[in-house]
């Protein structure tokens, strides 16, 4: 009996290796490929969506924009053409969630520093005080890489419309019609200007998920 096993030991090892390879290939083929959802206004909490588009169930994309960044440069949709990007809303004097959000955006910047396919975009919700000079000061304090991350200011109505009609990331303020309540949401946008994910910008675990989803989206693109 021992002689029998000794004689066929080599073939048994080869068969075992082939079995492992075959099982691995089958698992890889059958394993579902993760695809991120495409979010529409109708999918999102109505509080975050302007009433004029809450009914929209398909074809939603980020509207064209024209804003000014921390260096006084005009930033438009063309600067983000064919790029994946992460967008959020903040203001420089915020002492609650904004510092945490900005620190997490800085971590994303560091993680993807040399990745030319991914950019960052932060909109101030207080353009009347967040001037170019103020944004530049803030950018220097936070280590913003100008080639990677734009902090933008501009027309208040345009920014507010972007927040509620495009990125679906801010609540209306019924007590002060000239203002809105920005959320902690980081919004993942694909190369076709579609929303592919919302993430809590104050939650480290959500940031990890965001970074993973960016890699998933890159494979899809």
The annotated binding site for Cu cation is made up of 94, 98, 182
DSSP state of 194: -
Instruction: Summarize the annotated binding site as residue ranges.
Output: 94, 98, 182
Location of structure tokens 């698992």: 27
Q: How many residues does the chain have?
A: 221
CB-CB contact of 79 with 67 (8 Å): no
Return d(Cα 84, Cα 86) in angstroms, integer: 7
Look at strands 170-172 and 84-90 and give their pairing: unpaired
Closest CA to 197 of 180, 212, 179, 182: 212
DSSP letters of 169-205?
Answer: -EEE-TT-TT-EEE-SEEEEE-TTS-EEEEEETT-HH
Closest CA to 65 of 136, 178, 153: 153
CA 79-161-144 angle, to 5 degrees, is 40
Continuous segment of H or E residues that includes residue 15: helix 9-30
């Amino acid at each position: 009996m021992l002689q029998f096993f000794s004689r066929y030991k080599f073939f048994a090892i080869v068969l075992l290796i082939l079995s492992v390879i075959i099982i691995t290939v089958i698992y890889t083929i059958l394993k579902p490929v993760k695809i991120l959802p495409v979010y529409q206004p109708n999918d999102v909490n109505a509080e975050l969506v302007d009433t004029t588009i809450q009914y929209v169930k398909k074809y939603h994309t980020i509207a064209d924009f024209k804003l000014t960044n921390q260096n006084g440069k005009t930033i438009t949709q063309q600067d983000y053409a064919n790029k994946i990007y992460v967008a959020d809303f903040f203001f420089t004097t915020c002492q609650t969630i904004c510092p945490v959000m900005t620190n997490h955006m800085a971590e994303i910047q560091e993680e993807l520093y040399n990745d030319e396919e991914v950019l960052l975009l932060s909109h101030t919700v207080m353009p009347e005080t967040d001037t170019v000079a103020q944004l530049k000061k803030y950018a220097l304090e936070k280590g913003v890489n100008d080639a990677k991350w734009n902090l933008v200011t501009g027309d208040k109505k345009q920014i507010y419309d972007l927040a509620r009609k495009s990125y679906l990331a801010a609540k209306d303020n019924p007590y002060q019609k000239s203002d809105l309540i920005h959320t902690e949401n980081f919004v993942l946008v694909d190369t076709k200007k579609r929303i592919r994910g919302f993430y809590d910008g104050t939650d480290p675990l959500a940031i990890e998920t965001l970074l993973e989803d960016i890699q998933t989206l890159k494979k899809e693109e």
